[in-house]
Structure 1
Amino acid sequence: MGKRYLVLLLLLISLLLTACDGVSLFDKYETTFESALTTDTSPVSTNTEDTTSITPAPTESSVAEETSDESLPDSEALVYGNISFYYDMMEDVYADENDGTELVYAQIQNISIDIEGQPAVTETINDALSQISADRIADYEFMCVLAQGGYIEGGMELIVAPYEYLAYTEPTYISDSFLSFYVLDYQYWGGAHGGSIVQGLSFDLATGEPVTIESISDQPDAFLNFIEEHIINQIIEMPEDERPVFNDFETTIPNEMEHTAILFTNAEEPSIVVVFQEYSIGPYSSATPTFLIPISECETYLRDEAKILFEPDDISE
């Protein structure tokens, strides 16, 4: 399990770092993502069909219907203990209905789960994951409508280049009692490069309730201050020419904490993962600066019941 999580974490970083001038995240997405999914595990089923479709300029109201009904392949299941993960990949090319010019390219990967014997918890978590899926379809529909309008008005000179939308969700912490997900949405609207937004979603598998800093600590403000100081100290210990941040990081990190994605991983040991959004504390070349803090260093701030979430079990070991 540790090897798989490490590969996934490296994949997340590599995908983000490829989002630089003149480089599309989509160029390496298919091969790297598929190899990560099959590392150290055997999917229950594998769909090898080419699922790319070309959508000829549907109307605003029909984009979501056409892409969600026709482009999604059969799900693949990855099983860990009593938890099954189902991946749905939509790959779609949106083209002008008159001349076939490709205006938008999308790869949107969503995920759902099934926890054996826990239908209520399964439903609660899937409701949250389904909302992400619905938001992505709406965003893709909006992108297609704007691309079509821009193309009608000024051709490719106006929209510069085909727009792109990449989105995926990956588990970063799996155990009998706890799940955490990394959620990435990348959009390219022409110009030098696109932009990414990262979210973290975590759940207590006993209840299905979200796990946040506030839910695992009875002193969340002090805990957040500890996290900020830990990150600042990590940066100070780096050689100055390797720091992924602007020089004013000791000020910007506390200011930007409320916009971070906070999730968890057990790639090597249970840790908090803090992901800063693009440009928030560093240049675009730094992508989304990410910092890990071992749970073992945070125990002073954790509720007793929260410590149980991070204990090793048959799945996470």
Structure 2
Amino acid sequence: MNWSMRKSMKKRTAILAAVICLCTVSGCGAQPPVVDMNDTNMTQVSETDITLDEENMTQMSETETLDDDKTDVNMTQVSQNGAGIQENDAYVYFFGTDCIYVVDKATDDARFLWKSDAFEPGYGMFDGKGILLGEKIYFLERVAGRLEDSGVYYEMFVLSKMNADGSGYEQAVAREDSIYGYTGIYYSNGVLHLYNSYNTEGTRCYAVLADGSLGAEIPVEETKFLYQKALEEEWLDPSGLVYLTDGEAFFAVTQTDKQTFERVDLHTKERTVIGEIDGQGSMSAVYHEGTLYYMLCDETRKATVGYLSAEDATGGVLFELSDMSDYTKRFSPFDFGIRVSGDDLYYMDMRDYDAYLVRIRITGSQQPMYFEEPVYRTKIHEVGTLAVEKHEIYAEKNPKQVLGTVDIEWLSVDTSFAGAKKINAYLYEHEAANMLTQFESNVRRDEEFIDELSVPYSYDSEVPCVRYFDGNYVSFVQEGYDYFGGAHGLPLWEGYVFDLETGERLLLPDIISNTEAELKDLVTEYFGEIIDESPSYFWPDAKETVRESVSLETTDFVLTDEGICFFMHPYSIAAYAMGFSEVTIPYAEFSGLRFSPKKS
């Protein structure tokens, strides 16, 4: 059975879940940073940069913290900060929290080296951190679950490892030993540091043995980990800054009306302004070999990529990404940001609604090279394009006050398909016109309440991808997000199946011959398996709710290459934080299919 517990309820929901996690597990400290932290490449530093005696600042010998015969002497002179990119002689590695992507340096072939069961393409696909130590990869992996004592849902990042060729995956540190989860990973002088910028009690340090495996845990105070010391003394605030280490200092980008690039000395606490970057927006940055490389995305999603030298503050713009005509709402270049390794700068871009990894040689002609296979294929361009409609609703008493915003994206089928005109008219009426009318009615009804709330209502809707297309039928999910005040909005999904020849929307009786009783049994059986596997994640009456909700005429479903996918909305059988619950039932399980599904 193919199933997943979906949590892709738009970026704001993902951020909310992260905040819930921090509040629940870490004691609700500072808010998560708005920009990438510690996203820097391998730097060569002396042992003195990291391991300094606190009193007389003299160099520590290796024997003071580690046994000589247990450490890899070839790695004791190297410090690495966990980064979104690493490389060895064979591959360039891109780290996500649910996946690792590699580029073969000899052939330029690109592929996924590893994916977790929770992997989903889209937001933050490569926002992880990893380190290469010899032939071993250590990286932070996202895990989720419920606390045994309270049943509260959580997400956290734990240390996992595998061989550099992708084999031998395992969790390197047990989840129960990870305490609060980790936000960063750092290696120096034969010691691997796992730290949480929001809770210093969670830091763990391990000796790295000659074969790359982890040895004994080492008390953090014996390692003289300067970043840990700065956090414990509470003079270094991890929120709202980009921290980019060069060993003895951190580089920080402070976001105000400009982006100010500073060097923060971890010994003296001094801050030295190096330069400023004009412009406002979301910023992703990496520090590489004396230069800050950054991507600045403004509110229109235009991305500017530039650089600023740490030595003399010289810099400039390398290139801009401004053509968003074939971008989906789900994707922005900032979701990947930039990665720098050697003379190469990598970023993500979209062509025909598919996401591609792109490489530019910093020191060369700077002509972009798109890798052949897309990282994320939406299949939208095989069917048509995306239509977009945006509106702002203003107060009648104060015409300058925005009461609500609408941003709707829907599929527009190419006219080469006979049923395109009928399908497009249906989707415009159902997803654009009707939703706008209904939303405006709700805004006008609550105008006085919104005025007191000072937060506009909003409705967003998108088609992140086509889930099934065989030339005759197309199926996708329209994903909406309705915000009418409160801590969070409500995500909404509606599945569609269309006959591309006739233009008709197909319901379950048009696809299968099962009776409603048979369908109830089948869908409840499949949902029952995931409920029984993790019963504490679901409401006590979850199975009964599933059975009652199943109907041939109204049940939410979508076609996929593997089978028919049924989904339950948040709150229906589990808490909001659990997102959408899905099961995919193979086509062979149904009676009398009325079409021939393509082979996946």
Aligned to 2:570: 278
Match of 2:14 in 1: 18
Q: Deviations over 1:215-254 (max 9, x none)?
A: 1222232134212212212322x2344x3x2122221110
- Please tell me whether residue 179 in structure 1 is matched to residue 478 in structure 2: no
Alpha carbons 2:393, 2:440 under 8 Å: kept: no
Q: Which residue of 2 aligns with 1:71?
A: none
User: Which one of the candidate residues 309, 330, 340 is aligned to 1:33?
Assistant: 330
Aligned-residue CA RMSD in angstroms? 3.7
- 1:44-100 CA-to-partner distances (Å, cap 9, x unmatched) read 9xxxxxxxxxxxxxxxxxxxxxxxxxxxxxxxx9531xx3x2212234443446373
Output the CA distance in 2 between the equivalents of 1:78 and 1:203: 14
Distance change in 2, residues 1:234/1:148 (3 Å): closer
Taking only the aligned residue pairs, the percentage that are identical comes to 19
Is the alpha carbon distance of 1:122 and 1:265 closer, same or farther for their aligned partners in structure 2, counting shifts above 3 Å?
Answer: same
Map of 1:112 onto structure 2: 412
SS in 2 for 1:252: helix
Answer yes or no: is 1:134 the counterpart of 2:416: no
Corresponding position of 1:302: 592
Distance 2:402 2:429 in 1: 28
The match for 1:247 is: 540
Aligned positions of 1:189-268 closer than 5 A: 189-221=484-516, 222-236=518-532, 238-241=533-536, 243=537, 245-258=538-551, 260-266=555-561
The answer to whether 1:163 aligns with 2:457 is: yes
Of residues 388, 406, 409 in structure 2, which corresponds to 1:89? 388
SS in 2 for 1:34: coil
**Counterpart of 2:583?**
291
Cα deviations across residues 3-30 of structure 1 (Å, max 9, x unaligned)?
Answer: xxxxxx978456585385889xxx9797
CA spacing shift, 1:164–1:228, aligned 2, 3 Å: same
For residue 225 of structure 2, what is the aligned residue in structure 1?
none
- Is 1:311 the counterpart of 2:598? The answer is yes
CA distance in 1 between partners of 2:409 and 2:502 (Å): 26
Residue 420 of structure 2: aligned partner: 122
Kept in 2, the 8 Å contact 1:260–1:277? The answer is no
Bigger mean CA offset, 175-184 vs 135-144: 135-144
Task: From the two aligned structures, give the one with the greater strand fraction.
Answer: 2
2: CA distance, partners of 1:191 / 1:284: 13
| Structure 2 CA distance for partners of 1:115 and 1:199, relative to 1, 3 Å | same
Q: What is the alpha-carbon distance in structure 2 between the residues aligned to residue 232 and residue 16 of structure 1?
A: 30
Q: Secondary structure, in 3 states, of the residue corresponding to 1:33?
A: coil
Maintained 8 Å contact 1:256/1:281: no
- How far does the alpha carbon of each residue in 1:97-143 deviate from its partner, in whole angstroms, 9 at most, with x for none? 63733322332112211241x43x11222232122221122123224
Amino acid at match of 2:438: D
Q: Is the 8 A contact 2:407 2:461 kept in 1?
A: yes
Once residues 329 and 422 of structure 2 are traced to their aligned partners in structure 1, the CA distance between those partners, rounded to angstroms, is 31
Contact 1:11–1:32 at 8 Å: present in 2 too? no
Checking the alignment, whether the CA contact within 8 Å between 1:218 and 1:302 is kept in structure 2 is yes
TM-score, normalised to structure 2's length? 0.37
Separation in structure 2 between the aligned mates of residue 275 and residue 145 of structure 1, nearest angstrom: 32
What is the letter of the counterpart of residue 210 of structure 1?
Answer: R
How far does residue 262 in structure 1 lie from its aligned partner after superposition?
A: 0.8
Is the CA contact (8 Å cut-off) linking 1:260 and 1:276 kept in structure 2?
A: no
User: In the superposition, relative to structure 1, how do residues 191 and 123 fare at CA in structure 2: closer, same or farther (>3 Å)?
Assistant: same
Q: What is the count of residue pairs matched by the alignment? A: 249
Partners of 2:480 and 2:456 lie apart in 1 by 17
CA contact (8 A) 1:42 1:78 kept: no
Q: Residue type matched to 1:196 in 2?
A: P
The residue type paired with residue 223 of structure 1 is L
Q: Which amino acid letter does the alignment assign opposite residue 592 of structure 2?
A: L
Taking structure 1 as reference, are residues 160 and 191 closer, same or farther at Cα in structure 2, changes over 3 Å only? farther
For 1:302, the aligned partner's letter is G
State which structure, 1 or 2, has the greater radius of gyration over its C-alpha atoms: 2
Cα shift readout 1:247-300 (whole Å, capped 9, x = no counterpart): 22221110122464111123xxx221111123221122222222222324x24x
Counterpart position of 2:137: none
Q: Secondary structure at the match of 2:549?
A: helix
Letter in 2 for 1:281: I
Aligned mates of 2:415, 2:566 — CA distance in 1: 27
SS at match of 1:274: strand
| CA distance in structure 2 between the partners assigned to 1:18 and 1:126 by the alignment | 31
Distance 1:16 1:173, change over 3 A: farther
Unaligned runs of 5+ in 1: 1-8, 45-76
Write the letter of the residue equivalent to 1:134: A
**Aligned counterparts of 2:410 and 2:434: Cα–Cα separation in 1:** 11
Question: Which SS does the other structure have where 2:331 is aligned?
Answer: helix
Q: What is the Cα deviation at residue 32 of structure 1?
A: 6.7
Secondary structure, counterpart of 1:207 in structure 2:
coil
Give the Cα separation in 2 of the matches to 1:249 and 1:78.
34
Name the amino acid aligned to 2:420. T
- CA 1:260–1:287: 2 relative to 1, 3 Å: farther
In 2: Cα distance, 1:230 partner to 1:137 partner:
36
